[in-house]
Amino acid sequence: MDRKFYLLQILVALFVLSSCKAPQISYFQDSHDGDNYTLSDKGTIKLRPGDKVSILVNTKVQEYNNIYNLPYTPTRIGQSSNVKTATPQGVACYTIDGKGNIDFPLLGTIEAAGMTREQLAAHIKQEMLDKNLANDDPLIVTVDFANLNISVLGEVKNPGRYSVEKDKITILEALGMAGDLTIYGERDDVVVLREEAGKQNTYVVDLTSTMKLVKSPVYYLQQNDIVYVKPNTMRQRQATVSGNTVYTPTFWISVASLLTTISAIIINNN
């Protein structure tokens, strides 16, 4: 009887251990010291229709500065204001239209879509020099993003919408801005939604593999990308009243006790 009793306990313990699968929580599990990977050179954000940019021009001639740097007039609902500023913080933004163009003072229509910030700044500067609309020294043109954002949703500490303020941003940086994944987030099944050529494309990213991550087309994010971290099975079970009860030690101790009692009754009867 004792032998069968202990055998039953061992079988129950093995079943409990096999049913409690540990979640994947480590990143870069295939990384080793000295590994190196070639990163894509296509990660720099390029302007698209609907984007807004601030363009600041500095020349020797204040008259030119007043023309190029459109003043920004702050307004509030129900109020009017005549206060105008032309500081870097108060320069009006240019919205790239549906055809990918902006209308720039004195230069007219400029095709901005498809350019990086640096390319647009260099193009405007060259156009001004070619048309003798500014002195060569000094002439500084600065282009900054005004409304570029990415969204991080799902199992992260601080889900929300975040501003893009530099030319390249990786998915790791975006997750870092959102406070990193919670312990319930799926590391090997992160989804990135990207709008491309009028279509919504879906990409899956595996954060547990460095090679797969850096080779992914969404390692570098673009404006308006949506990063979604799926909940693991443990989090999904929490959506029900007793979803995780079957995976708790208390439950299995109770099951083992019940089975042991039933087994003892059967053995005694025999």
What are 60's two structure tokens? 């020797």
- Alpha carbon distance 74, 117 (integer Å): 25
- Alpha carbon distance 72, 90 (integer Å): 5
191 or 24: which carries more pLDDT confidence? 191
Would you state the pLDDT for residue 234? 82
Phi, psi of 4 (to 5 degrees): -65, -35
Tell me: pLDDT of 150 over 50: yes
Task: With CA atoms as reference, report the closest residue to 266 among 63, 5, 3.
Answer: 5
Look at 44-48, 171-175, 182-186, 260-264 and tell me which has the smallest mean pLDDT.
260-264
Condensed to tens digits (0 to 9), the pLDDT of residues 27-72 reads: 999 889 988 888 877 899 999 999 999 999 988 888 888 888 877 6
Task: With CA atoms as reference, report the closest residue to 12 among 270, 233, 265, 263.
Answer: 263
Provide the mean pLDDT of the chain: 81
- CATH of 149-231, picked from 3.40.710.10, 3.10.560.10, 1.10.600.10, 3.20.20.70, is 3.10.560.10
Condensed to tens digits (0 to 9), the pLDDT of residues 208-217 reads: 999 999 999 9
Would you state the pLDDT for residue 125? 93
Average pLDDT over residues 258-270: 65
Average pLDDT over residues 86-101: 76
Tell me: pLDDT of 191 over 90: yes
pTM above 0.85, yes or no: no
What are 133's two structure tokens? 């609309």
3-class secondary-structure state, position 142: strand
CATH, domain range 52-145: 3.30.1950.10
Tell me: pLDDT of 88 over 90: no
Tell me: pLDDT of 147 over 50: yes
% pLDDT > 90, the chain: 51
Would you state the pLDDT for residue 80? 39
State the amino acid at position 150 in one-letter form: I
Condensed to tens digits (0 to 9), the pLDDT of residues 3-37 reads: 555 555 555 555 555 555 555 678 999 889 988 88
% pLDDT > 70, the chain: 71
Number of H helices, E strands in the chain: 7, 10
What are 148's two structure tokens? 């570029």
Q: Which residue has the tokens 């987030």?
A: 185
Which residue ranges make up each domain of the chain?
2-21+241-269, 52-145, 149-231
What are 38's two structure tokens? 């070639």
Tell me: pLDDT of 196 over 80: yes
Phi, psi of 107 (to 5 degrees): -85, -25
Tell me: pLDDT of 83 over 50: no
Q: Could you write out the DSSP letters of every residue in 141-201?
A: EEEEESS-EEEEEESBSS-EEEE--SS--BHHHHHHHTT-B-TTEEEEEEEEEEEETTEEE
**Most confident option among 113-122, 138-147, 234-243:** 113-122
What are 132's two structure tokens? 């003798």
Helix axes 249-269, 2-19, angle to 10 degrees: 150
Q: What share of the chain is helix, strand, coil (3-state, %, to 5)?
A: 30, 25, 45
